Amino acid sequence: MNTVNQKKYKQTAIAISVILPIAVATLFSVKIDGYDFGFLPSIYATINGITAIVLLSAYFAIKKKKKNLHKNLINVAVTLSISFLVMYVIYHATSESTVFGDSNHNGNLEDVESLALGGIKYLYYFILITHIILSIIITPFVCFTYLKGWLGDYEGHKKLTRITFPLWMYVAVTGVIIFLMISPYYN
């Protein structure tokens, strides 16, 4: 592939890496009333779990030198991640945020509820905060790792994968954990 096309793809990856987190953050200020997408969190948590399985499968495929299978599985993982993101934004644009520990579902964490949670709330918030931060950080890593593989820069791809794979796995797995921890508090 010529350098002009490579430069164009690199610029596209940079644009996606910058625009996507800004767009998602901006969409959180949008609230659309009249729709009930309360069923989406269980679906997108499942998608996160499937993404983790697909990523592991892609890892084992490339270790066995099955390049086409690896490529196809990564395409599936990217598609799943995009599907997750779309559903996540739709849910948060149409639903009030759920408060962890809000057992009476009034939208507030009262002192009694907070005491009942004990130390688990710190674990939850640690997982949530690292998940959110890494989900922002992972975007350029996925874009550039994918791009290097797609352009045939396998050494660069392999080098970036050492960072991208564990981060992407963490985000996928913690997405499921967060859902499991907060799901009792959904209305």
Secondary structure (3-state) at 165: helix
Mean pLDDT for the chain?
Answer: 91
pTM of the model: 0.88
Q: What is the pLDDT of residues 66-99, one digit of tens each?
A: 999 999 999 999 999 999 999 998 998 898 889 9
Which helix (H) or strand (E) segment is 96 a member of? none
- The answer to the question of residue 51 being in a domain is yes
Give the phi and the psi of residue 133 in degrees, each rounded to 5. -60, -45
| Structural domain boundaries enclosing 175 | 33-185
Q: How many other C-beta atoms can be found within 10 angstroms of the C-beta atom of residue 155?
A: 8
**Residue 170 sits in a domain of what CATH number?**
1.20.120.80
Q: At residue 182, what is the residue type?
A: I
- The answer to the question of residue 60 being in a domain is yes
CA distance 137 to 140: 7
Residue labelled with tokens 């907070």:
114
Query: In this predicted structure, what is the pLDDT of residue 2?
Result: 55
CA distance 66 to 52: 19
Report how many domains make up the chain. Answer: 1
